[in-house]
Amino acid sequence: MPLLSPRTTLFFLCDIQTRFRTAIHAYDQLILSSNKLLKIAKHFDCPVVATTQNARALGPIDPRIDTSILGPLYLGAFDKTRFSMITSDIKAILDARPQTTSVVLFGIESHVCVLQTALSLLALSSTRSQPIVPYLPLDAISSCNAFEIDVAVARLRQAGAVITSSESLAFELMGDASLPGFKEFSKIIKEEKENTKVAGDALILGRQTSEPATEADVAGGGVLMKG
């Protein structure tokens, strides 16, 4: 499997709507990670596609998610009733970008819309000259019930999706500290350092262990690997 490359990557923001705030596990931390991912997408000039689930009833994307920073990289928010993000509009976007081989997928709910979107992307691979691999940053995905996240992750790993973190995929996109733009990239990582920790503690460590993580667990990724 090739490394992530900015020129072949899209970002998919799935159904993060204010109406879900009181229902979703660690929702406020999900907002932090989502904004971090939008900064990363902007830095690497990666287009971003968003969806809402039945916006007429459930409202728009949470206004705390700052899509305005993206400018023309933001391809829009598409409303849907089906659970997968791969509607006819979004399939047309993918068809117009045959070079796309990876999608960074984040949002809610892990075991419904996120799962079905990832499976749809994997299924599309058989119809394209280049397969599409979904990358799921675990600190930017949630559900109403926290246990559902691990159930979805197990299914997605089995299906061929890549489970990662927002920071790991960001460095994979960067690739080399000698490349132009690394100084600005490093600035984003430093600015987001506290948000990364808060979101990761709530969405990863806080979900997979009932006991405080030790320094060794955090440094070695031990708690994450238990999921």
Residue 55 lies in a domain: yes
Residue 2 lies in a domain: no
In tens, the pLDDT along 175-220 reads: 999 998 999 999 999 999 999 999 999 998 877 653 443 444 333 3
Helix, strand or coil for residue 11?
strand
Flag whether the pTM goes above 0.75: yes
Confidence of residue 129 (pLDDT cuts 50, 70, 90): confident
Given a cut of 50, is residue 223 above it in pLDDT?
Answer: no
Show the tokens assigned to 114: 């996120």
Residue 56 lies in a domain: yes
User: Would you say how long the chain is, in residues?
Assistant: 227
Helix, strand or coil for residue 52?
strand
Show the tokens assigned to 225: 């690997």
Confidence of residue 5 (pLDDT cuts 50, 70, 90): very high
C-alpha distances (whole Å) from 172 to each of 37, 40, 106, 126, 199 are 13, 11, 17, 26, 20
In tens, the pLDDT along 46-56 reads: 999 999 999 99
Tell me, what CATH number does 11's domain have?
3.40.50.850
Number of H helices, E strands in the chain: 11, 7
Rounded to the nearest 10 degrees, the angle between the axes of helix 193-200 and helix 166-174 is 140
Q: What is the pLDDT of residue 208?
A: 64
Do residues 23 and 62 lie in contact, with contact meaning Cβ atoms separated by under 8 Å? no
Given a cut of 80, is residue 225 above it in pLDDT?
Answer: no
Residue 117 lies in a domain: yes
User: Annotated catalytic, 15?
Assistant: yes
Residue 1 lies in a domain: no
Q: What is the pLDDT of residue 40?
A: 97
Residue 39 lies in a domain: yes
Residue 157 lies in a domain: yes
Q: Residue 177 belongs to what domain range?
A: 7-225
Taking the C-alpha atoms of 218, 13, 119 and 112 in order, what is their torsion angle to the nearest 10 degrees? 80
**Percentage with pLDDT > 70 across the chain:** 90
As a whole number, the mean pLDDT across the chain is 89
User: Annotated catalytic, 91?
Assistant: no
- Catalytic residue selected from 14, 15, 36, 46: 15
Residue 107 lies in a domain: yes
Q: What is the pLDDT of residue 130?
A: 85
In tens, the pLDDT along 59-101 reads: 999 999 999 999 999 999 999 999 999 999 999 999 999 999 9
Number of domains in the chain: 1
